[in-house]
Structure 1
């Protein structure tokens, strides 16, 4: 069978042919009551580790359900490591960033507190939920890892110097990100996005002293933090494809 089921579902459980996977109540409700699937109807199931599987849905009682993997549709791809380091932003904007970063191939999201960060917390569980939903909708087979929020100094102190960190600087006297990332290929890379209001001048000086930091620009205009994150990841993806 080559036809793919229409619907996709992420399950946080091992996937193997013939081994039923229990669904949580929310997933069972979504498949059985929202999508109105019947016993035996098929979906695509993935867990971010073992590829994508054709799976048959089955009800268990009034509120439960399970998926039984039938055959492997696609092997788990190896993705280039792309990290987004960003200052948390207010309200639903951080969830929007998690969603779009997933669609654009980010493999790790690192919220970092800068001197001008307005909020000092990030709801990792909510960000993960948005990332899962985005992966289900865009056809991706992996979910980005989400790090605990830390101060930017701590993030930089633990940084692997072999991984370039493209620092999106508002100073116009820097090379464009697409140019700076030319030839990146599948090598690991990261982008750093500042808070609403930009980086503190002292932070900018310290960043530029680090050998793995590469100051870059995102264009002629000053972008909102969430727009900058999307633009930077899109340019990294374009550089990899180029």
Structure 2
């Protein structure tokens, strides 16, 4: 009786660490790492020479690299081969009013995982925050992209006052407005529009009457409802984004039509 050969283990292993690094990457590129990334690989993941690491550069895609040196304070990698090109990103923006830090951190993380192309923080009259630490926000988004195996980082715009956002809104991009006062059911509205899109979600206290009227008067805006329950600001942002991705994004049938 012939003994079957053991299965060849997948390479690179699914457990290989993933990191975004400056690009462009190419075969044979040496990638020296210091600081937090070196600490993560050396102290947390305990890599040694020869171990696999997956690198992305937000330009050329996803690459297999191997550890060449693993010191106490730095790690050197050598890029071996490209595994995937940079992914295509659905043309969807999330325009989310600033909320308390923990809630907005969640929006940053989940919007990245869900596949948004751009996150636009918005300043409204009822916002409890008026500033965003951009470096910290990008770090949260980068870590989320690494965790969910994205090969493209979403953009992060500077916080914009609502009036300025509407004034400078680009032609040809539909603005779905999550309105507590009601509107077209979100899934229906999303299915009606196939072009570039964005979702506008308010802060904890919602939009005031003047803001709501200003948004509804904008030619690109379409008021939508996310259901019969009153959702937290962060829940509305995440739920609305997920629904758009399932209706018009890269989750289902719409993606196959492209």
Asked if Structure 1 and Structure 2 have the same fold, meaning a TM-score greater than 0.5 normalized by the shorter chain, the answer is yes
Measure the CA separation in 2 of the matches of 1:183 and 1:35: 47
Residue 175 (structure 1) aligned with residue 184 (structure 2) = yes
| Structure 1 residues 190-242: Cα deviation after superposition (integer angstroms, max 9, x where no partner) | 00000111101011111111110011010101100000000010011011234
Structure 1 unaligned blocks of 5 or more: none
Per the alignment, residue 206 of structure 1 pairs with 214
Q: Secondary structure at the match of 1:23?
A: strand
Per the alignment, residue 74 of structure 2 pairs with 64
Q: How far does residue 170 in structure 1 lie from its aligned partner after superposition?
A: 0.6
Q: How far does residue 24 in structure 1 lie from its aligned partner after superposition?
A: 2.5
Paired residues of 2:33 and 2:74 also in contact (CA < 8 A)? yes
Q: Secondary structure at the match of 1:92?
A: helix
Q: Which of 101, 106, 116 does residue 91 from structure 1 map onto?
A: 101
TM-score, scaled relative to structure 1:
0.94
Per the alignment, residue 237 of structure 1 pairs with 245
Q: How far does residue 161 in structure 1 lie from its aligned partner after superposition?
A: 2.2
Q: Which of 41, 44, 49 does residue 51 from structure 2 map onto?
A: 41
Residue 126 (structure 1) aligned with residue 100 (structure 2) = no
Structure 2 unaligned blocks of 5 or more: 1-8, 254-258
Deviates more, 1:95-104 or 1:175-184: 175-184
Structure label with greater radius of gyration: 2
Q: Secondary structure at the match of 2:80?
A: strand
Considering only aligned residues, what root-mean-square deviation do their CA atoms show, in Å?
Answer: 1.5
Per the alignment, residue 51 of structure 1 pairs with 61
TM-score, scaled relative to structure 2:
0.89
Q: How far does residue 184 in structure 1 lie from its aligned partner after superposition?
A: 4.2
Q: How far does residue 60 in structure 1 lie from its aligned partner after superposition?
A: 5.8
Count, aligned residues = 240
Paired residues of 1:87 and 1:195 also in contact (CA < 8 A)? yes
Paired residues of 1:94 and 1:127 also in contact (CA < 8 A)? no
Measure the CA separation in 2 of the matches of 1:101 and 1:13: 24
Q: How far does residue 126 in structure 1 lie from its aligned partner after superposition?
A: 1.2
Residue 217 (structure 1) aligned with residue 225 (structure 2) = yes
Paired residues of 2:49 and 2:70 also in contact (CA < 8 A)? no
Would you identify which runs of 4 or more consecutive aligned residues in structure 1 move more than 3 Å?
A: none
Q: How far does residue 125 in structure 1 lie from its aligned partner after superposition?
A: 1.3
Q: Secondary structure at the match of 2:184?
A: coil
Report 1:5-16 matches (<5 A).
5=13, 6=15, 7-16=17-26
Residue 190 (structure 1) aligned with residue 223 (structure 2) = no
Q: How far does residue 58 in structure 1 lie from its aligned partner after superposition?
A: 2.7
Per the alignment, residue 137 of structure 1 pairs with 147
Residue 76 (structure 1) aligned with residue 86 (structure 2) = yes
